[in-house]
Amino acid sequence: MANKEEILEGLAEIVNEETGVETADVQLDKSFTEDLDIDSISMMTIVVNAEEKFGVTIPDEEVKNLKTVGDAVNFIENAS
């Protein structure tokens, strides 16, 4: 099971691959849409890749609740 730091690093790599956002910019307090400028299509790709990487399922109705990187890290940590 991955800890918060490992999840953050993995998520930062996924975000970087999908959007080109620098991994150092992917911080717990950053909003996916406002701070990182990630659109809904890219977000769905990030979610699918995160599910594969961390072996979790993120239901579609939960995705809208993942407003910040920290929200996603906490969800993945609790789901794994």
Rounded to an integer, the average pLDDT of 1-19 is 95
The pLDDT value recorded for residue 21 is: 97
Distance CA 65, CA 59 (A): 10
38 and 19 in contact (C-beta within 8 Å)?
Answer: yes
**In the predicted model, is pLDDT for residue 1 greater than 80?**
no
Residue 2 confidence class, pLDDT cut points 50, 70, 90: confident
* pLDDT tens per residue across span 18-70: 999 999 999 999 999 999 999 999 999 999 999 999 999 999 999 999 999 99
* CATH class of the structural domain 4-79: mainly alpha
Q: How many CA atoms lie within 13 A of 66 on its CB side?
A: 23
Residue of 35, 39, 60, 71 with catalytic role: 39
39 as an active site residue: the answer is yes
Q: Considering the entire predicted model, what is its pTM?
A: 0.94
Residue 80 has pLDDT above 90, yes or no: no
